[in-house]
Amino acid sequence: MPEETAVYDSIIDPTLGVATDSPAGPTALAERPRTLSGLRLGLLANIKRNAEEFLDEVGRLLAEQQGVAAVVARKKPDITSTAPEPILDDLRRGCDVVVVGVGDCGSCSASAVADGIILEQGGIPAVVVCTDAFTASADAMAGLRGAPGYRYLTVPHPMANLTPDGVRDRAAAAVPGIARMLTRGAVAAAS
Amino acid sequence: MTSPPAGPAGPPGGPVEQARAVIEYCYERGWTDGLPVVPATRPAVESFLEMTERAPDEIIGSAPHLGRSITVAQAAANAVMAGCQPEYFPVVLAAWEAVNLERSARGAWQSTSGPSPLIVVNGPVRGRLGINYQGGVFGPGFRANATIARAVGLIVRNGYGIRPHELEQATQGLPGRWSVCLGENEEMSPWEPFSVVGGVAPGVDAVSAILIRTCEYVDNRGTDSPEAVLTDFADTLARLGAYLGGGHSSGGLVLGPEHAQLFGRSGYSRADVQQWLFEHAVRDRADLVAAGKGGSGGEDSPSDPAQAGTPFPMMPSARDIPVLVAGAPNAAISMVFRPFGWAPWSGRSVPVAWPPAVAAMSERSESNGG
């Protein structure tokens, strides 16, 4: 009813501030290579327990099984924020594909997805790894970054309490999915 | 008898039914914390903005990782919605600033820990706005206490877009999230106001904020010995469950007036209480190891073999045990609260900035004994 709409229009929307730093619009994913063989792999870890160990094992396995030529490992200092620009820049310059992880808390799952989307915007195919407890925050961040439906890889929760063997098993189970999502044909445009 | 006019553009029904429809509309838009909100209209927001000299479009909070910023006008809209009166708005702004001084605040709203600000108000503003600092200080029942705290929560929800089950990932949250704002009972405290510890001059209206994960009562009515009461506090402070690993736990006290006055009578300064608690809130390292919290075996961890047999301090330092006084002097009950994460309290209180006309008015009323 148009009359009702007019009344509701006089209510101020409390979610509207200033759009000074809103992220850019919809994100198309970077073009995927056909194979990982001979490529430079980036690993973007956060400071959560077992994140680096998991990614290191992923790197080792991708080198062994898929012929990745070099591994560049970086660690971001803050679980809430996206990776600092120098780290992102290193990855953009020094890598052909990147694995980001592990999103296993409220803040770091969302920021891992944001890192992945930023890398895709820079033309770098990326796979974000989150534990399956945090799909809601990962999806919410994808929507906020203009990439609703952005696909990431989930691994069973939790990650932090795994033994070194447990981490290696988790990595081994994740590697086929990571390889698929980094190569051609597997991932459609995000939105 | 005729029914009230529906107005040129009203939803159907009389004004009361229309008010209900508008409240429902706010629910449908996802703007509420689960309780009804007061719809924010331009005149309402303007009446709030008149209570501050800050520009409506001044940015008072940013979450760069979310691409969101919060303006003074947006804070005003959310304060209206929370049920604040216009004259609460300077306190809301000071509370927001105090919350943002907390190093842990930026990522906290998305955290599984689900923390909430403990907001503390000092100064004559408590009397002017009816901010409770006496019985039942943790609420509910007092409009200013309830709505100032709620406004901060709505700013986070609507301003940053951090909503539960989406970006907000609290595992359980805590009772009283976005509802704890208390006045300090300065009149019954043996010590200087908490805001003076936070660097603001005595008698100046000021707000302090500490992000907390919960509160736990300590009921000790059976002794006149300050050390006995301190022993009881130290036991709760040293609780294993509150230890996160990685160095130390955290804790503070909202003393009931009876406990505070016992310390005052016995010659304990606030710093003495803090020092005593720091020294006695310790655990056997074996207790932590038995609970699976022995850590890495490194120098800072309970399981460090070189320090086996020595007590493990659960608090970060004496200074980082905030102590304030609130409540009624009708039973010897106090509250231990648990600051979020590892970062100690910012240690800084924020003076409330009143526009000159309001400041002049309140000075007159205070000099008249009002």
Nearest 5°: CA angle at B67, between A139 and B108? 70
Q: Give me the amino acid identity at B343.
A: A
Minimal Cβ distance to A4: which of B11, B64, B166: B11
What kind and span of H or E run contains B118? strand B116-122
pLDDT at position B233 over 90: yes
Contact B314, B248 (CB under 8 A): yes
ipTM, interface predicted TM-score of the complex: 0.82
pLDDT per position as a tens digit, B65-86: 888 899 999 999 999 999 999 9
| CB contact B301 to A (< 8 Å) | no
Query: Which pLDDT value is given to residue A29?
Result: 85
pLDDT per position as a tens digit, B328-337: 999 999 999 9
pLDDT at position A186 over 60: no
Residues B112-142 as b/e (b if ≥16 CB within 10 A, e otherwise) read bbbbbbbbbbbbbbbebbebbbbeebbeeeb
Q: Give me the amino acid identity at A170.
A: R
Interchain proximity B107–A78, CB inside 8 Å: yes
pLDDT per position as a tens digit, B137-188: 999 999 999 999 999 999 999 999 999 999 999 999 999 999 999 999 999 9
Interchain proximity A141–B170, CB inside 8 Å: no
Enumerate chain A positions whose Cβ falls within 8 A of a Cβ in B: 1, 3-4, 6-8, 10-18, 20-23, 78-82, 105-107, 109-111, 114, 134, 136-137, 139-141, 144-145
pLDDT at position B106 over 90: no
- Residue A11 is given by DSSP the state B
Query: Which pLDDT value is given to residue B343?
Result: 73
Q: CB-based contacts of B245: which residues, under 8 Å, 6+ apart? A: B293, B295, B301
Between positions 111 and 140 of B, the ones with CB within 8 A of A are 111-112
Token pair recorded at residue A55:
């990614």
What kind and span of H or E run contains B105? helix B105-108
CA atoms of B246 and B262, how far apart (whole Å)? 35
Token pair recorded at residue A135:
């799909």
Q: How many of the other CB atoms lie within 10 Å of CB of B222?
A: 10
Interchain proximity A12–B59, CB inside 8 Å: no
Contact B32, B82 (CB under 8 A): no
Query: Which pLDDT value is given to residue B369?
Result: 47
Contact A40, A73 (CB under 8 A): no
- List of chain B residues whose C-beta atoms are within 8 Å of the C-beta of residue A81: 64-65, 107
Interchain proximity A3–B39, CB inside 8 Å: no
CA distance A65 to chain B (A): 33
For residue B61, count CB atoms less than 10 angstroms from its CB and return exposed for 0-12, middle for 13-18, buried for 19 or more.
buried
Q: How many of the other CB atoms lie within 10 Å of CB of B197?
A: 21
Query: Which pLDDT value is given to residue B221?
Result: 96
Q: How many of the other CB atoms lie within 10 Å of CB of B102?
A: 22
Chain B interface, best mutation among A4, A108, A157, A163, by max B CB count within 10 A:
A4
- List of chain A residues whose C-beta atoms are within 8 Å of the C-beta of residue B11: 1, 3-4, 7
Cα dist from B235 to B242, B279, B318, whole Å:
12, 12, 16
CA atoms of B278 and B123, how far apart (whole Å)? 29
Nearest CA in chain B to A118: B65
- List of chain A residues whose C-beta atoms are within 8 Å of the C-beta of residue B158: 14-15
Cα dist from A52 to A166, A171, B144, B246, B367, whole Å:
14, 11, 47, 18, 63
Percentage with pLDDT > 70 across chain B: 95
CA atoms of B202 and B339, how far apart (whole Å)? 25
Between positions 311 and 340 of B, the ones with CB within 8 A of A are none
Nearest CA in chain B to A136: B166
Query: Which pLDDT value is given to residue A19?
Result: 52
Interchain proximity A7–B78, CB inside 8 Å: no
Query: Which pLDDT value is given to residue B5?
Result: 46
- List of chain B residues whose C-beta atoms are within 8 Å of the C-beta of residue A10: 41-42
pLDDT per position as a tens digit, B175-230: 999 999 999 999 999 999 999 999 999 999 999 999 999 999 999 999 999 999 99
pLDDT per position as a tens digit, B234-283: 999 999 999 988 788 999 999 999 999 999 999 999 999 999 999 999 99
Minimal Cβ distance to B161: which of A78, A144, A145: A144
Q: How many of the other CB atoms lie within 10 Å of CB of B221?
A: 11
Token pair recorded at residue A29:
């994913």
CA distance B84 to chain A (A): 15
CA distance B43 to chain A (A): 10
Contact A83, A98 (CB under 8 A): no
Interchain proximity B161–A15, CB inside 8 Å: yes
